[in-house]
Amino acid sequence: MMPFAADRTHVDLSETRTIKASGGLHVYGIIVTNITGSTDSVTFEDASGNDIMIVRLATNTTQVINIPWLADNGLVVFAGTPAAGMTVTIFHNNIQGGA
């Protein structure tokens, strides 16, 4: 499903990253890569700080998650141990907010 996403955001997880969207994000898929020297995890939260998903990766591995879901008002992504060798690519559409 990832090719249908209008937007793609690629971040390294040397620090916490926030992808803001006023009405939320429709996430189509995620690719998580760990090229650090140790096993680590990546946490995905909504804008309110609620955990959506935690992905644990062994050294030198890539995980593809092809399950669509919604993140209200944006998405916060961070590694258990911030490191430049942890990257995430998120395939998504921004959902427009409105009354």
Residues 66, 35: Cα–Cα separation, whole Å = 21
Residue 4 burial by Cβ neighbours in a 10 Å radius (0-12, 13-18, 19+): exposed
Q: For residue range 15-70, what is the model confidence (pLDDT) as tens digits?
A: 888 888 777 888 999 999 999 888 999 999 988 888 989 999 999 999 999 988 88
Instruction: Sketch out the chain's domains with CATH numbers.
Output: 2-94 (2.60.120.340)
Backbone angles phi, psi at 11, to 5 degrees: -135, 145
pTM: predicted TM-score of the whole model, two decimal places: 0.84
The CA-based angle 86-20-81, given to 5 degrees, is: 25
